Structure 1
């Protein structure tokens, strides 16, 4: 499961589709609708939110917006809850840099056109996240 801290506009088609699917799985875990993945480290930061279900819902909503912008059809009715007032989550500069490099490696392998775009870009966060100083997050598997 990869729940990117990066803004979805940086993802290629495969990354956006996989991100949607994996965030829906995360939502199912947080809603108690599945027994699998309950201890997945990517969920730690969502569980720390004042309303974890609203936080993952806000995360999904932004993925949906990006999908619509590209002309894809993601089913927004699958989002159980979304509330930007549930609070921003934080992400460290080190985590964002790690994810940016990780995305660059993926794009180089599977999507050369998107890799070119990646080289000309600078990383921005998903709107749910506020960037703070720090190293790679302790929950990240490197």
Structure 2
């Protein structure tokens, strides 16, 4: 499961689509509707919120908006909570940089033309996140 901290506009098609699917899985986990993935480290930052389901729903909204922009159809009715556009979460620049490098490595393999475009700008955070200075998150399991 990869619930990207990166801005959805910077995700290639595979990362955007799989992020949507995995975000819906995260929502199911947080609602207690599945027995798998209950201890997945990427859920830590959502569980720290007052309402984790609203948190993941708001995160999913960011992906759905990018999907709309690209002409994809993500079924927003599958998001069970009302997203909160005022919700703010924190991501460190270290975490963002790690995910940026991780995405670049994946894109070099599956969509090199997308990887070339990613070099044009710095990593940007998903709209739900405010970036602060700091190291990679404690819950991160990707190789740094």
TM over 0.5: yes
Residue 90 of structure 1, CA deviation: 0.6
Which residue does 1:108 correspond to in 2? 108
Cα distance in 1, alignment partners of residues 79 and 45 from structure 2: 19
Which residue does 2:37 correspond to in 1? 37
Q: Is structure 2 residue 63 aligned with structure 1 residue 83? A: no
5+ residue gaps, structure 1:
none
Residue 84 of structure 1, CA deviation: 2.7
Residue 121 of structure 1, CA deviation: 1.8
Which residue does 1:64 correspond to in 2? 64
SS at match of 1:91: strand
1:91-123: per-residue Cα shift (whole Å, max 9, x none)? 111000000011110111110110111111211
Moved over 6 A (4+): none
Residue 69 of structure 1, CA deviation: 0.4
1:33-59: per-residue Cα shift (whole Å, max 9, x none)? 111100000000000011111010000
For normalisation by structure 1, the TM-score amounts to 0.96
Cα distance in 1, alignment partners of residues 35 and 85 from structure 2: 27
Kept in 2, the 8 Å contact 1:92–1:136? The answer is yes
> How many residue pairs get matched?
141
Kept in 2, the 8 Å contact 1:55–1:84? The answer is no
5+ residue gaps, structure 2:
none
Which residue does 2:55 correspond to in 1? 55
For normalisation by structure 2, the TM-score amounts to 0.95
Which residue does 2:125 correspond to in 1? 125
Cα distance in 2, alignment partners of residues 50 and 7 from structure 1: 23
Which residue does 2:137 correspond to in 1? 137
Cα distance in 2, alignment partners of residues 64 and 31 from structure 1: 20
